[in-house]
Structure 1
């Protein structure tokens, strides 16, 4: 398993537009489930290293995402659909300081963090070794 429980978000990432859509969906996954959400690009992932796999609506539209989705299901890794993710409310509690209000996920490399306040980002950035981008 990874150092921190992380969810793998699987969907069509074969074009720049579909990758943008998948990345935006992974933001929603991190925001609603309050787990880091990694965007799967290609097939070079070991699905059993993740707490769960979230299958975007278009996961059956591309070979890499079909392979990862089927691997996860075959390995009995918990799999959630987009509809199941959207059943959870948006969470505005900061995963760094714990206070509520105006917290959103931040993108660190290819992974969205759980929601954080903009004021907590400098501290989070110092704690991270990867580039950090905050959603507007």
Structure 2
């Protein structure tokens, strides 16, 4: 786990899970996004845009990964969206790394996030004033 230290991102490798801040009032209604790393922290050499409508500027540090989608009405089960393409996210948005999400159903790529881990990740998110 980690809370904002960019030095810790050197430990995030392909296949690891990580969490990033979600904007308040996001369309998905989630507190944070969960992803599986597909490319560790790297510096861009051009402006990046992805199919998820994320934009990263040139000469910035990003991490690349596949989103997990929270199952409707269930804060503890997530489906890995690895067939929908990767996203690039600014590395400074990463708030938690290297946590376990056991596979529950291989046919639907469903993973479990314990309530305790959910709370720990939530507590790592920065406070946003209203």
* TM-score under structure 1 length normalisation: 0.27
More strand by share: 2
More helix by share: 1
